Amino acid sequence: MTTAVLTPAALHRCLADETRLTLTLLLCTEPELCVCEMTEALAAPQPRISRHLAYLRRAGLLRGRRRGAWIFYRLEPTLPEWVSIILEASRDAAPPEVITAHRRLADAGTARRRQAACHTKPRPALFSSTSGDIA
């Protein structure tokens, strides 16, 4: 399944929603995150996060890949330069929601490692292969 060509209007529709903006900006600083990590980072229900991730994927902003029971998302590696410039500027503005989400992500990773309940690696707090891709 191919995704639509990302236009400026489509990008701004994606980023106009606070949840989608936060998810996208998290993925600007993390190479890849699974749905469970993003659910914990945003302290939001999994169906809500999955719905927004599907929207971003259909728009052509994200790419997903399945690994066992988990789906991992990352920014689409072939994003045009103008999109990268907008995302970088948005990330540098560091909305409070993104800072909070990064802190939750770091805390959740620590808790999961203690419980040995998840596959994630340690993640530093912010401010201190293509096989299996999902189209």
CA atoms in the 13 A half-sphere facing the CB of 130: 7
> Can you tell me the distance from the alpha carbon of 114 to that of 94, in angstroms, rounded to the nearest whole number?
29
Contact 107, 99 (CB under 8 A): no
Q: What's the order of all strands across the beta sheet hosting 62-67?
A: 33-34, 70-75, 62-67, 133-134
76 within a domain of the structure (yes/no): yes
Which of 33, 8, 4, 34 lies closest to 87, judged by CA?
A: 8
Q: How confident is the model at residue 67 (pLDDT cuts 50, 70, 90)?
A: confident
Which of 50, 37, 22, 25 lies closest to 109, judged by CA?
A: 37
What is the pLDDT, as a whole number, of residue 110? 56
Contact 73, 33 (CB under 8 A): yes
129 within a domain of the structure (yes/no): no
Model pTM above 0.85: no
125 within a domain of the structure (yes/no): no
**pLDDT of 1-36, one tens digit each?**
445 689 999 999 999 999 999 999 999 989 999 999
- Total domains present in the chain: 1
> Can you tell me the distance from the alpha carbon of 49 to that of 78, in angstroms, rounded to the nearest whole number?
23
128 within a domain of the structure (yes/no): no
Beta bridge mates, 71: 66
126 within a domain of the structure (yes/no): no
**pLDDT of 102-124, one tens digit each?**
899 888 775 554 454 455 555 45
CATH code for position 101: 1.10.10.10
* Residue span of the structural domain in which 36 resides: 8-120
Q: How confident is the model at residue 94 (pLDDT cuts 50, 70, 90)?
A: confident
1 within a domain of the structure (yes/no): no
What is the pLDDT, as a whole number, of residue 126? 47
Average pLDDT, the chain: 84
**Mean pLDDT computed over 83-96:** 91
66 within a domain of the structure (yes/no): yes
Q: Distance of alpha carbon 47 from its chain centroid, rounded?
A: 15
